[in-house]
Amino acid sequence: MVLGLLMGDGSIPVQPDGSNGVFHVPMVNQQFLEWYDHQMGLFTTGVSLKKTAEELAENNRESGFSPNAKAENYHDMYSVWSRSHPYFTRLRGWYESGTKRIPEDFELTPKIAKFWYISDGFLDVNRNRTPRAEIRTHTESDRSDFLLDLFREHGFDPNFRRGTIRFLREKTRSFLNWMGNPPPGFEYKWVLNSRKRYDRLKAQAYGEARAF
């Protein structure tokens, strides 16, 4: 789980006192984080509220990122911190260049890909076409061949466009099956045959009041 999440939203901040590294996962998907915290057991310290939707909207207004940001268009942000551990210190090696980079000798597995996908991936859902799985990776845009080779080694042939790995629509089901069952909170990213079910599961995952 850790490696896949580190490829996405996860991070290992520098520890100013030189102590062992800690792993941080921030997300709006509280359901998943509760499950993840339980799976990690004693290695994590629980789910906490990082920022409310109102605070996120206010920050974006004040920074100029989104001058008209409204809280109704945001979700509360939660996070899970690990306890310090030498394993996370070793993973700080991903930051040797000054930014987080996947190691050149990295080997992708279905489980690692799954947690990368739930973190940075999504379904390109169009009412008139079969959904396509995609993974955003703007910080690695200069290494598109390297990223694509991670999947080519497993028989997939995605393309890369605008900082995004894009799987063929006709291969998306095979890709999802290869990764295995989704973790709680991200079932909607595996729904290909029903836009209504996709919308319902996504709304449930993010605690939205609307029902379908």
Which pLDDT score is estimated for 127?
Answer: 67
Q: Are residues 124 and 14 in contact, defined by beta-carbon separation less than 8 angstroms?
A: no
pTM, entire model: 0.90
Query: What's the full length of the chain, in residues?
Result: 212
List, run by run, the mean pLDDT of 10-residue segments along the chain (212 residues).
96 88 95 96 94 83 82 86 95 93 96 97 85 92 94 96 94 97 97 92 79 45
CA distance 71 to 139: 28
Tell me how far the alpha carbon of residue 180 is from its chain's centroid. Answer: 16
| HEC secondary structure over the chain | CHHHHHHCCCECCCCCCCCCCCCEEEECCHHHHHHHHHHHHHHEEEEEEEECHHHHHHHHHHHCCCCCCCHHHCCCEEEEEECCCHHHHHHHHHHCCCCCCCCCCCCCCHHHHHHHHHHHEEEEEECCEEEEEEEECHHHHHHHHHHHHHHHCCCCCCEEECCEEECCHHHHHHHHHHHCCCCCCCHHHHCCCCHHHHHHHHHHHCCCCCCC
Structure tokens given for 65: 């990122």
Q: Which residues pair with 124 in a beta bridge?
A: 132
Q: Are residues 160 and 148 in contact, defined by beta-carbon separation less than 8 angstroms?
A: yes
Q: Are residues 136 and 117 in contact, defined by beta-carbon separation less than 8 angstroms?
A: no
Complete edge-to-edge strand list for the sheet that includes strand 159-161: 121-126, 129-136, 164-166, 159-161
For residue 190, report the phi and psi dihedrals to the nearest 5 degrees. Answer: -110, 0
